[in-house]
């Protein structure tokens, strides 16, 4: 492990806004934040740019960026501390274990921003909008809570739309080209460093916002009696997957 990573890992060990594989946090996040404000998760958050920016815009809400890569979490955690954003925290954990850290009705909204689309054949099960992940989200989200996907991958976008239809989810907004419809506004206007690079390369940015069905999403086939962690292969986003210079 490089010196820079070691320094960052040592730093987050001291950050009060970073929790690493914590025990006993299910149902305790409002105690952690010392308020009863709604909780939004950013999954595979990488540098946490969305968590930080949403935290700046909405001090009346709490935001938790989740990623397995501590050296990436460092960036967002440090910024949040420096700016006094006490409504922003970071959780170092596998997203496949998300139900170990949150309880029923504890989460109001989820953002999935430039997540790894897992393009190799047979790896679709690792996509964060695969129905087995939706099943997990349903265990922790409030009824009607929104899930937001923002991606430059048409494969992941199309896959998500297919999954939404199959699981009878409710679509609130579907934009096939965010920037093709004029200037982005609200949360969609938040632009991460790597999103800027994608746009410079001429890539289209897709967005869909949906909520889960009221009926339970059932695990079927080979996933019926299997934990996500039995074969999870990491839930990094484009940012987390980059090699830092």
Task: Tokens for 235, please give them.
Answer: 């839930």
- CA dist 151 and 134 (Å) reads 17
Residues 6+ away with beta carbon under 8 Å from 109: 38, 39, 40, 41, 145, 146, 147, 148
Residues 6+ away with beta carbon under 8 Å from 186: none
How many Cα neighbours within 13 Å face the side chain of 104? Answer: 0
Closest by alpha carbon to 190, among 33, 53, 21, 17? 53
Residue 116 annotated in active site: yes
Contact 198, 154 (CB under 8 A): no
Angle made by CA atoms 164, 167, 170, in degrees to the nearest 5: 55
Query: How far from chain centre, in Å, is Cα 199?
Result: 21
How many Cα neighbours within 13 Å face the side chain of 37? Answer: 17
Contact 100, 26 (CB under 8 A): yes
Task: Tokens for 63, please give them.
Answer: 């935001």
Query: Which of 116, 225, 230, 231 is the catalytic position?
Result: 116
Catalytic residue ranges: 116
């Amino acid at each position: 492990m490089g010196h820079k990573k070691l320094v960052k890992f040592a730093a987050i060990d001291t950050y009060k806004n970073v929790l690493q594989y914590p025990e006993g946090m299910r149902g305790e996040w409002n105690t952690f934040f010392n308020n009863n404000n709604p909780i939004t998760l950013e999954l595979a958050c990488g540098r946490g740019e969305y968590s930080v920016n949403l935290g700046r815009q909405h001090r009346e809400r709490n935001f938790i960026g989740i990623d397995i890569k501590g050296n990436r979490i460092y960036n967002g955690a440090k910024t949040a501390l420096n700016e006094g954003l006490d409504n922003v925290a970071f959780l170092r954990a596998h997203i496949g274990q998300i139900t170990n850290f949150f309880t029923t009705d504890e989460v109001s909204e989820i953002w999935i921003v430039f997540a790894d689309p897992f393009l190799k054949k047979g790896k679709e099960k690792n996509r964060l909008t695969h129905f087995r992940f939706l099943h997990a989200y349903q265990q922790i989200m409030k009824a009607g809570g929104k899930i937001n996907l923002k991606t430059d991958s048409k494969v992941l976008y199309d896959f998500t739309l297919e999954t939404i239809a199959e699981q009878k989810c409710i679509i609130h907004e579907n934009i096939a080209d965010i920037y093709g419809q004029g200037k982005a506004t609200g949360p969609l206007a938040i632009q991460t460093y790597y999103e800027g690079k994608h746009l410079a390369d001429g890539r289209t940015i897709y967005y869909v916002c949906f909520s889960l069905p009221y009926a339970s999403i059932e695990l079927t086939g080979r996933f019926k009696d299997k934990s996500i962690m039995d074969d999870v292969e990491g839930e990094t986003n484009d940012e987390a997957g980059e090699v830092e210079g």
